[in-house]
Amino acid sequence: DSPSPRTWLVDGDSIYLGLGEGEVEVGDEFTIFREAVGVVDIDGERLLGYHVDALGWAVVREVDGESSIAEVRISNSEIRRGDRVIPRAAVHLDVPIKMTPDGIEGRIVFTPNYRTNMADGDYVYINRGLLHGFEVGSEVEVDVPGRLRKEVVSEKEVKTPDRVVAKMVLVDVKSDSAVAFVVAAKRELEIGDRVRATTRRLASR
């Protein structure tokens, strides 16, 4: 709950947590999140894991018997009563960029926040991970396969080159899935786009 009369809660609002003495202390920090959404493979048959919407974080200001009062410090989205909390983990911002040329080609399978198209600075989920030759820091790219076209003069069919439309870095890698940060994109990315190990090194970041 919250002492604020607003339906949606944001930065600076106080919230009540269902955690009290012996469970939390003043200064404890919590990530606020909404229910997990299952992420399935592109064929819709295999569950790869769960996506959780991280809405922001809060710090405990007062502790009472069976509850406590916390302040919302950062809100990435509207927070509502009933959203859940978990102890806030340290965020590692530095990711060493690596080449993993043996990584097996995969697909984009999920775009967070219910968006259908993603671009620079966004995150996408792919259906490849440690079992497929990738690791945290792996550079990957989204490529569009070339197509057969008729050459006007000779009237022969020729295949156009594959075209790289995005560069990404894997920032969280599990056994058979990964989260990729979109470094640069020439067009909006969509579920089903083909992902492969990068063929050209990204600039150091």
CA-to-CA separations, 132 to 38, 101, 104, 155, in angstroms, rounded:
21, 11, 5, 41
Q: Answer yes or no: is pLDDT of 138 > 80.
A: yes
Tell me: the pLDDT tens digits for 10-39? 999 999 999 999 999 999 999 999 878 889
144 burial class (0-12, 13-18, 19+ CB within 10 angstroms)? middle
Please answer whether residues 141 and 164 qualify as being in contact, where contact means their C-beta atoms are separated by less than 8 angstroms.
Answer: yes
Residue 205 pLDDT exceeds 50: no
Percent of the chain whose predicted confidence (pLDDT) is above 70:
92
Of residues 21 and 149, which shows the higher confidence score?
21
21 within 8 A of 64, measured Cβ to Cβ: yes
Distance in angstroms between the alpha carbons of the first and the last residue of the chain? 42
What distance in Å separates the CA atoms of residue 109 and residue 40, rounded to the nearest whole number? 7
Structure-block tokens of residue 73: 């410090």
Averaged pLDDT, 85-109: 87
Q: Is the pLDDT of residue 141 over 50?
A: yes
Average pLDDT over residues 107-136: 82
CA distance 139 to 164: 13
List the one residue out of 183, 94, 91 whose CA is nearest residue 142. 183
SS3 assignment, position 114: helix
Q: Report pLDDT digits (tens) over 47-92.
A: 998 888 889 999 999 999 899 999 999 888 889 999 999 999 876 6
- What tokens does 175 get? 């056994």
**DSSP state for residue 43 in the 8-state scheme:** T
Residue 41: closest CA among 127, 142, 133, 131: 127
Sorted by sequence, the CB contacts under 8 Å of residue 180 that are 6+ apart come out as 123, 124, 125, 126, 140, 168, 169, 170, 171, 195
Q: What is the pLDDT of residues 153-174, one digit of tens each?
A: 777 888 777 889 999 999 999 9
